[in-house]
Amino acid sequence: MANKKLKQDKKRFQKINRVLNLQEMKEHKVKAAVYIVLRGVIAAILIYSVLNGFWENAMTCLLSLVLLMIPSFIENKLKIDLPNVLEVIMIIFVFSANVMGEIASFYEKIPLWDTVLHTLNGFICAGVGFGLIDILNENEKIKINLSPIFVCLFSFCFSMTAGTVWEFFEFGVDMFLGRDMQKDTVINIIRSGVLSENSGSIVTISGIKDTVVNGENLGINGYLDIGLFDTMKDMLVNFVGAVIFNFAGYFYIKGRGKHIGFIRNFIPRRK
* Residue-range domain boundaries for the chain: 23-180+228-270, 185-225
Task: Tell me the three-class secondary structure of the chain, residue by residue.
Answer: CHHHHHHHHHHHHHHHHHHHHHHHHHHCHHHHHHHHHHHHHHHHHHHHHHHHCCHHHHHHHHHHHHHCCHHHHHHHHCCEECCHHHHHHHHHHHHHHHHHHHHCCHHHHCCCHHHHHHHHHHHHHHHHHHHHHHHHHHCCCCCCCCCHHHHHHHHHHHHHHHHHHHHHHHHHHHHHHCCCCCCCEEECEEEECCCCCCCCCCEEEECCCCCEECCEECCCCCEEECCHHHHHHHHHHHHHHHHHHHHHHHHHHHHCCCCCHHHHHHCCEEC
Residue 7 is predicted with a pLDDT of: 59
Q: What is the pTM of this model?
A: 0.82
Q: What are the 10-residue block averages of pLDDT along the chain, 271 residues in total?
A: 58 56 61 89 95 92 92 82 90 93 90 93 94 74 74 94 94 87 87 80 88 88 88 96 93 73 85 73
CA dihedral defined by 235, 241, 244, 246, rounded to 10 degrees?
Answer: -80
Residue 62 is predicted with a pLDDT of: 95
CA atoms of 102 and 120, how far apart (whole Å): 17
Residue 18 is predicted with a pLDDT of: 55
Residue 130 is predicted with a pLDDT of: 92
Q: Is the dihedral of CA 172, 174, 176, 177 positive or negative?
A: positive
CA atoms of 87 and 127, how far apart (whole Å): 12
Q: Are strands 185-187 and 189-192 parallel, antiparallel or unpaired?
A: unpaired
Residue 141 is predicted with a pLDDT of: 63
Residue 100 is predicted with a pLDDT of: 94
Helix 84-94 × helix 29-52 angle, to 10°: 20
